[in-house]
Amino acid sequence: MSEEHNVRSKMTSVELVLGVLAVLSVILLLIPTDLIKFHKTLIASDYDAHLYKDNGLSEIRWLDQEKQLWECVLNDQHITPFCSMQLDIIDEHGKGINLSDYDSMTIWLNYTGEAEHLRVYLRNRNPQYFVLGDITSTKYNVVEVPVSQLKDGLVIDMNNINVADWWLSSHKIPLQLSRPEFEDVVYLEIQTGSQSREGVHQIQLEKVEWQGAWLTQAALYKIIILVWIMFIFAILIYRIVALNIQLKNNQRYQKELISINDFLNLKNKKFEDLAKTDPLTGLHNRLGIRDALYEGLNNWKNQRQPFSFVLIDIDHFKRLNDTYGHDMGDKVLQLTALQLGKNIRRTDFLARWGGEEFILVCPNTTLDEAEVVAEFLRDKIEHMDIDSDHAITASFGVSSMSEPDLKKLFKSADDALYQAKEQGRNRVVTSI
């Protein structure tokens, strides 16, 4: 009674910790994201700006340079007409802004004109491609944005920013350097859109804000999952220890029961158990899966619960026996049985059917699910470590009950197994 009381007390403690962990997980998931985020704001008027245009007849001028309001009159006689404002965001030490830790950018901009989109460039400097004195050698990270949403602040995912194709090709940038970079952004450029044509465009950039997270949601999920995994692992260790204690208690009880049965001249249940076990592999024999077959058949009849068979046959077993002897054959049978036994689901029943053939009884399992189980076991056998030059593989036949007849269910699996052999072995075939 004291041992049982201790187990119950420990289980109560485990349940308490489990409850606390669940509550903490919910709290972490409900933490407002703003609490774990950081921001960087750029006011456009605080930085020097320069205007640029194409080499055609387009015109550009300041309307109010202090407020950085400018006007562009595009002329489409140039093949790619454009106007742009370049904001110099280099600090007094000659460094740009490191935006690599930010995941979004919000732009506030006033626009008047007929264009639907503007281009935004974050131009990065990297010694691997930047040439001193050539500002076009900065990497042109670009995103094209709709002007209709800019006045109230348009949020842009940094993952949606790409490197301009024309810049990659004109500077012959190798593939390994072609991804977007934001470690040293020295220029922020606002440019007319790729579809903009003749007309007047007035543009005023107000501010840009970048947002990042001290702890991303994905990282938070990983931490929660990791904590849960560690806790579950601890529970598993505890369960194993508790089960070992319980097993020893049960073994002691069984010994006492055998002694009592012997004294009373009753048939020892241990002998009955041995009659259901294959002596070579330690698996069930045919008799050992009788109860599982009965239960599966009745569940199919009463509840239409799916019920499947997997027949397993070791490939070229006779040749292996003839070449290496029966001792090696027995070893292969034992290793195969061990490999199958430790990789089946807890709900399945594995038995040695006879010779080199095994059967896996799969309650509450559809044909497709049984096929997945069979393929998993086939792979495990194929990669089984055995001290022999002979590769060990097995063929599988899978069937699922369609009428309450175990003989037909077995024959369907056997026919599928035959097809697996005919098709070259080491494969899984399901019944039609």
> 99-148, pLDDT tens digit by residue?
999 999 999 999 999 999 999 999 999 999 999 889 899 999 999 999 99
For 214-271, the pLDDT digits (tens) are 776 777 788 888 888 888 888 888 888 888 888 887 786 565 445 434 433 434 444 4
The answer to whether residues 115 and 152 belong to one domain is yes
58: Cβ contacts below 8 Å, ≥ 6 apart: 72, 73, 74, 75, 78, 81, 82, 83
Domain tally, the chain: 3
The answer to whether residues 208 and 232 belong to one domain is no
The answer to whether residues 284 and 368 belong to one domain is yes
- Predicted TM-score of the model (pTM): 0.48
For 358-394, the pLDDT digits (tens) are 999 999 999 999 999 999 999 999 998 877 677 899 9
The answer to whether residues 206 and 228 belong to one domain is no
**Residue 234, both tokens:** 């601890």
List the CATH number of the domain containing 377.
Answer: 3.30.70.270
The answer to whether residues 372 and 227 belong to one domain is no
- 268 part of a folded domain: no
- 148 part of a folded domain: yes
The answer to whether residues 243 and 332 belong to one domain is no
The answer to whether residues 326 and 350 belong to one domain is yes
For 144-174, the pLDDT digits (tens) are 999 999 999 999 999 999 999 999 999 999 9
Distance CA 268, CA 80 (A): 95
pLDDT at 197 over 90: no
CA distances, 330 to each of 152, 279, 379 (Å): 78, 11, 21
208: Cβ contacts below 8 Å, ≥ 6 apart: 41, 42, 44, 105, 106, 107, 108, 188
The answer to whether residues 235 and 296 belong to one domain is no
Quote the DSSP letter at residue 391: P
Quote the DSSP letter at residue 354: E
C-alpha count within 13 angstroms, C-beta hemisphere, residue 287 = 8
Pick from 96, 252, 121, 270: which is nearest to 184 by CA? 96
- Of residues 16 and 332, the one with the higher pLDDT is 332
pLDDT at 328 over 80: yes
The answer to whether residues 194 and 47 belong to one domain is yes
Which domain range does residue 101 map to?
Answer: 39-215
- 402 part of a folded domain: yes
- 211 part of a folded domain: yes
- 270 part of a folded domain: no
- 168 part of a folded domain: yes
pLDDT attached to residue 214: 78
